[in-house]
Amino acid sequence: MAIKEDINGLVRLQEIDSRLQEIEDKRDVLKQAIQKVREPLNALETKRDAVTERLESLQRDTRNLEGSAAELTARIQKSSEKLPLITTQKEYFALQKEIETMAREKERLEETLLANMGTLEDLQKEAVDLAKRCTEEETNFVTRKEEMERDAADFDAETTALSQQRKSISAGIDARYLAHYNKVVLYKGSPVVVKIVEGNCRGCHMTLPPQLFNDVRRGDSVITCSFCNRILYVES
C-alpha cells in the first residue's frame, strides 16, 4: 500500500510540476508580448535621445563659437586702437592685414553661428515633439501592459497554491523515490513517472522485459525503466 501511495504521490507531483512549467511558459510568452508592445516606445526614446544628444552637442559648439567670435571682436578692437599709434608704414600695413584676417574669420564664425541657430531651433522643436510623443506612447504602453498583466493576475496565486501542494505531497513520499524523481527531472525533464502500455514504457517507448512488467504490477517496490530510468506504474 505504501508503494502505491508513493506512486500516486509522484504522479500528482508530476501533474503539479507540469502545470507549474505551463504557467512559467505563459509568463515567458507574456514577457515577450509586453516587450513587443513596448517596441514603438523604444524606437521613440532612441530617436529622442539621439536628437537630444545632437542638440546638446550643437549647443556646446555654438557656445564655443560665440566665445571665439567674442575673443576676435576684442582682439580686433584692441588692434584697431593701436593703428593710430604706429609710426612706420610697414608696421601699419602688417597690423591692418592682421585686422582684416581676424575680421574675415569673425565673419565666417558669425555665418556658422547663424546657421547653427537655425538648426538649433529645428532640433529644439523636434526634441519637444519627441518628448511629447514619448509621454503619450508611454501612457499607452503602461495601459496595455497593465491590461496584459491583469489577464495573468491568477498566475501568482495559482503558483503559490501549487507550490504549497507540492511541498505537502513531497513530504509524504519516500525520500529515496523523491530524490530519484528530482534527479530524472533535472537530467531528462518531464515526464518522469510513466505508465506501461501494452508492455512498453511510455517514456522511451521501449518494450520492457516481461519480468519487469510483472514486478511493477506486483507493487512491492518502485520500479524504474531499464532503458530510460523513468519510474514505471500500471493503472489498476
Question: pLDDT digit string (tens) for 61-109?
Answer: 999 999 999 999 999 999 999 998 888 999 999 999 999 999 999 999 9
Cα separation of 205 and 224, whole Å? 14
Do 53 and 133 lie in one domain? The reply is: yes
Q: Decide if 210 is inside a domain.
A: yes
Examine the fold and report which residue of 124, 157, 190 is the final residue of a domain before the chain moves on: 157
Q: Which residue has the cell 497554491?
A: 161
Going by C-alpha positions, the residue among 229, 234, 155, 227 that lies closest to residue 188 is: 229
Bridge partners, residue 231, by sequence: 193, 224
pLDDT in tens, 164-198: 999 999 999 999 999 999 999 988 888 999 999 98
Contact 19, 162 (CB under 8 A): yes
Task: Please classify residue 22 by burial: count the beta carbons closer than 10 Å to its beta carbon, then call 0-12 exposed, 13-18 middle and 19+ buried.
Answer: exposed
Q: Which three cell numbers stand for residue 151?
A: 489577464
Work out the mean pLDDT of the chain and round it to a whole number.
93
The answer to whether the beta carbons of residues 20 and 163 sit under 8 Å apart is yes
The residue segments making up the domain with residue 224 are: 174-233
Mean pLDDT computed over 34-38: 96
Question: Could you give phi then psi for residue 174, rounded to 5 degrees?
Answer: -50, 130
Residues 49 and 111 in one domain: yes
- Could you give the CA distance from residue 68 to residue 105 in angstroms, rounded to a whole number? 10
CATH assignment of the domain containing 59: 1.10.287.1490
Tell me what pLDDT residue 4 has. 87
DSSP code for 173: S
What is the distance between the alpha carbons of residues 6 and 4, in angstroms, rounded to a whole number? 5
Residues 144 and 178 in one domain: no
Number of domains in the chain: 2
**pLDDT for position 79:** 94
**Residue at 6 is within a domain:** no
Are residues 141 and 57 both part of a single domain? Answer: yes
